[in-house]
Structure 1
Amino acid sequence: MNETDNDNPPAGVKAQWRARMKAGRAAISAQQRVLEAAALTEAVAGMAATTMCCYVPFGSEPGSIALLDVLLERGTRVLLPVVPAEPGPLDWAEYTGTSALAKGNLRPVLEPQGPRLGPKAIAEADVVLVPALAVDRSGVRLGRGAGYYDRSLSLVSATAELVAVIRDTEFVDQLPAEPHDVRMTAVLTPSDGLRRLPSIEPSL
């Protein structure tokens, strides 16, 4: 496996990348995760957005619910994904606080229990924080393989900032890409905060 795979890679290439990145995450200590989450929260607090699509991290994903609460406190409208019962784009609902979160269709992922806004609600976001296992310097994102975000990101506003939230070691030179990939415009890492990708025109 290397970082020079071309478009239309074999399915096994992405599977190898996923296994490699998941193994790296499994080795991170709980203390380190807490420190990273605090750094990400501080970085997000400085981002300007009226509406922001976020996510509730689970397992070893970087981020925290505290990040969502900071956005609420400053008056940002926060939308969280709701996993549909059948394959398709993500639904969305507004985050109003931890008391309104419960396990959804994709356990143990927590989802807001308020009114469903529909898949097209993602188009209302100025910024979309996207979970990822890795991102390369051209904005190619490696997800978990379920395809929920692949189906959803095509619905975003043309001016939205697409920000993949990853660890510093998960920002790599090149990932295997496919024609349907929606590329990220920036990455958010614990050490560097928001880093816009040079090949993409900033929209904020």
Structure 2
Amino acid sequence: MMNKKDIRKDILSIRDSLSDSQREALNNKIFDKVINSSEYKRAKCIFVFVSYRSEVNTHGIIKHALSSGKIVCVPKIISKDEGMKAVRIEKFSELVPGAFNILEPISTYKKIDETFIDLTYVPGVAFDRHGGRVGYGGGYYDRFLKKLKKDSEKIAICYNFQLLDEVPRENHDVSIYKIITD
């Protein structure tokens, strides 16, 4: 089995090499699967990462959820030690480049208690069918996911090539409930 560093290098290289038209076609398939899933339909409060660079585009999902009347929270990085918080947004335009140049809310004024979240869309570099996940190495999501209530659903959104037979796991890694790919 490859180590996390090599997996990151290989998968990100493939992901970064997608053409705009390939990426758009794959993103459209994933968007349709997400908004038509039973988890999405029944969730009142969702937490969704704001896509960055070559990640699966979540901007459409965020805008759809907002227009559907869902409570939408996105990550706001506080610090390496404090990790990230879930902050409610009411319009996509409230997001500005923040930590790591990723779009995020300006302040934590509308912070949401993690136990209020029904459904979380989790980013990552690679996943396996046993709930394993390789993130970007900062540990922000593993720490955040541990704060969610037990029955809060954690769904990864990724391209099919990001799904591997097995990824390395460590004790602090949080398992993913379901994976949606193209």
Is the structural similarity TM-score above 0.5?
yes
Q: Distance in 2 between matches of 1:103 and 1:17?
A: 27
1:53 aligns with 2:43: no
| Equivalent pairs, count | 177
Q: How far is 1:184 from its partner?
A: 0.2
Show CA shifts across 1:7-51 (max 9, x none).
Answer: xxxxxx211111111111111111111122222222222222000
- The aligned amino acid for 1:155 is K
1:142 aligns with 2:134: yes
- The aligned amino acid for 1:153 is L
SS in 2 for 1:162: strand
1:178 aligns with 2:170: yes
1:62 aligns with 2:56: yes
SS in 2 for 1:21: helix
Report what 1:31 is aligned to: 21
Alignment of 1:149-188 (within 5 A): 149-188=141-180
Show CA shifts across 1:80-99 (max 9, x none).
Answer: 00011343331121122222
Contact 2:89 2:110 (C-alpha < 8 Å) held by counterparts: no
Report what 2:5 is aligned to: 15
SS in 1 for 2:69: coil
Contact 1:54 1:79 (C-alpha < 8 Å) held by counterparts: yes
Q: How far is 1:137 from its partner?
A: 1.3
1:77 aligns with 2:67: no
% identical aligned pairs: 26
Q: How far is 1:145 from its partner?
A: 0.2
CA 86–145 in structure 1, closer or farther in 2 if over 3 Å, else same: closer
- Which residue of 95, 100, 112 corresponds with 2:94? 100
Q: Distance in 1 between matches of 2:30 and 2:106?
A: 25
Q: Distance in 2 between matches of 1:100 and 1:38?
A: 24
- The aligned amino acid for 1:168 is N
- The aligned amino acid for 1:24 is I
| TM-score normalised by length of structure 2 | 0.91
| TM-score normalised by length of structure 1 | 0.82
Q: Distance in 1 between matches of 2:20 and 2:45?
A: 30
